[in-house]
Amino acid sequence: MGTVGIILLLLASFVLGSIPFGIIVAKAKGVDLKKVGSRNIGATNVLRSLGKWPAALTLVGDILKGTLAVAAGRYFGAGLLLEGLIGFSAILGHNFSLFLGFKGGKGVATSLGVLMFYTPRVALLTLVIWLGVAVFSKYSSLAALISFGLLPVNVFLLDSGDTGKMLTAILITALIFVRHSDNINRLIKGTERKIRQRE
């Protein structure tokens, strides 16, 4: 694949990732998601503000952004390293959306979508860890921090055949922690909202 093709795929992936499904779903319900709950555009805030089914639609949309980005990279023969970077570009799009003035969400669902196509066994383990921590603690942010904090370790244990996968895992983990910096502070202070907590 040539340089121009790679650049186009990275840009297309960023635009795809920028689609704010949470905003779209909430707007269809007559709600401005940026003014309710945590004001985040992701599925957790949609769940708090609008309920299960709107949250499920948001979650599926955000996951598909990551999955389709990596699938496009594979379809065009980009190779494992570039597939990961193309998927990471979709996560960046979600977090710094072109349609929201380069603001956005935390990137958890889109990151999971990238992993589902890129390294399925690691994606499954990440999801299981997320669910376990979320059910036990009731904190979505803590579940994300622990499950994605372990991501490089899980890649090493389950899918260490390519350095591109480890690089992608490290990039995803770093971005998750950067985007959750406020959540980390609230967890330390004991002021973080639980998953179904509205205020």
List pLDDT tens digits, range 65-122: 999 999 999 999 999 999 999 999 999 999 999 999 999 999 999 999 999 999 999 9
List pLDDT tens digits, range 115-173: 999 999 999 999 999 999 999 999 999 999 999 999 999 999 998 777 889 999 999 99
Residue-wise over 19-28: b if at least 16 C-beta within 10 A, else e?
bbbbbebbee
Q: Read off the pLDDT of each residue in 8-37 and give the average, rounded to a whole number.
A: 92
| pTM for the predicted model, two decimal places | 0.94
- Partner residues linked to 103 by β-bridges: 97
What lies within 8 Å, CB to CB, of 191 at 6+ separation is: none
Q: Say how far apart CA 12 and CA 33 lie, in whole Å.
A: 25
Confidence class for position 195, pLDDT limits 50, 70, 90: confident
Q: Say how far apart CA 6 and CA 8 lie, in whole Å.
A: 5
Structure tokens at 96: 């710094």
- Partner residues linked to 137 by β-bridges: none
Amino acid (one-letter) located at 137: S
Q: Say how far apart CA 188 and CA 10 lie, in whole Å.
A: 36
